[in-house]
Amino acid sequence: MLCRRAIPRLVQQQHSLFRTQVRHLNLLEYHSHKLLKDFDIPVPKGYVVGSPEEAREVVSKINAPSVVKAQILAGGRGKGKYESDGQGGVRIMNSPIEAFENASRMIGYYLTTKQTPPGGLLVNKLYIYKAVDVAQEYYVALTFDRDRSMPVLLISNVGGVDIESNADKLEHYWFDMTHGITSEITAYVQAQLGFSDAEMGVISHILHQMLKLFKEKDATLLELNPLVRTPEGHFVCLDAKFTFDNSARFRQPEIFSLEERLPDEEEEYEASQAGLSYVRLDGNIGNIVNGAGLAMATNDLVSLFGGKCANFLDVGGGATKESVSKAFEILNRDSRLKGILVNIYGGIVRCDMIAESIIDAAASTGGFKVPVVVRLQGTNSDKGLEMIEKSGLRNLIVEPDFELAAEKIVAVTEKSA
């Protein structure tokens, strides 16, 4: 699936720390197939199962060779490896017994692909449909070209897993939403990909229905890979990957009710629900700051002293006692942390309120498990620092100087590592 693989340069974005906080809804494959069907885009009749027994019943009902696909939010499933038997997450089953045996080694086990965390992702569901004979695979997608500030159609007659190494063969057709995919564009598509007039009639219908779905559902990417032509000349979408803009959540309650998240996205989602900005990083020093600029400066200064931050966590300029407590709650669950740096510059936010929140967070968790360095400056900072110093809390270090605070958290983290 190209959006999680070799994205073409024209739509590839260099994500800064801020951009990674922008969340997009991702759907599992079977949800995407249902949506395609609703918009009259051809897909095979599929079944979702959650047990080996259900897999056996479905393949018995299909009574033909069937495709069994692990449902996770990652591409490359066919070339992935299960912890149970070392096989991939996309398999052909020729009998109900074979379906039962394979499903027994797929459901409840971790599948690792190039796009999953090193330990893989747990598979709880399988998607099964009758195997389709394939004469030709195509890749078709709609997305936005941010550089040109307009949507673009991407299409290639080299689809499936081969798209990863053939991204340079994608044809690009830019258009505007007012005029949509015009007859001129479809003529270019037919000429470039060699569709017959009859085939182009079907392809044109699919493209226009994709655009309708794209607009009506506030999508940021619709990807059909592969869209296949059968030996009989029929077109069927065998796999799909969609993303939807998070800002459209209030307009698309039905779609967003289907949301499933990767394990490392749970903290990000929980933080966003509490009004916090959270991005997971690779280090072992947790940060709680107020303001994106201060967060970046904190990460940079910690790195300068040889440390590595585990997160970007911005409680915002209007932080409350509840949001600060939630920030500590999220960090306290992170087993990677060897220390936490609280760096607050009080403006609208009062530092004495932050201090009170820190003390309450420690009380609610039975004390801090790792060293916590607190730097407060600005509104009521003297009062806040005094409150913390008199609290008698263990593992709590007060340092009003920014540079020294960063240096101290790196030092105590190295000692506890």
The residues that are catalytic are: 139, 223
| Residue 349 among known ligand-binding residues | yes
| Residue 69 among known ligand-binding residues | yes
Taking the C-alpha atoms of residue 103 and residue 77, their distance in angstroms, rounded to an integer, is: 15
| Residue 76 among known ligand-binding residues | yes
Closest-CA residue to 202 (of 228, 176, 167): 228
Residue 310 structure tokens:
């585990």
| Residue 239 among known ligand-binding residues | yes
| Residue 85 among known ligand-binding residues | no
Q: What is the DSSP string of 113-153?
A: -TTS-TT-EE---EEEEE----SEEEEEEEEEETTTTEEEE
Closest-CA residue to 246 (of 4, 18, 73, 25): 25
| Residue 287 among known ligand-binding residues | no
Taking the C-alpha atoms of residue 195 and residue 378, their distance in angstroms, rounded to an integer, is: 67
| Residue 78 among known ligand-binding residues | yes
Cβ–Cβ < 8 Å for 167, 2: yes
Q: Which residues neighbour 64 within 8 Å (Cβ) at sequence distance 6 or greater?
A: 130, 131
Task: Say whether 37 sits in a helix, a strand or coil.
Answer: helix
Q: How far is CA 36 from CA 68, 217, 224, in A?
A: 19, 12, 10
Residue 332 structure tokens:
């306290």
Taking the C-alpha atoms of residue 280 and residue 297, their distance in angstroms, rounded to an integer, is: 17
| Residue 290 among known ligand-binding residues | yes
| Residue 119 among known ligand-binding residues | no
Taking the C-alpha atoms of residue 342 and residue 311, their distance in angstroms, rounded to an integer, is: 12
Known binding-site residues equal 69, 76-78, 137, 225, 239, 290, 347-349
Known binding-site residues for substrate equal 290, 347-349
Known binding-site residues for ATP equal 69, 76-78, 137
Known binding-site residues for Mg(2+) equal 225, 239
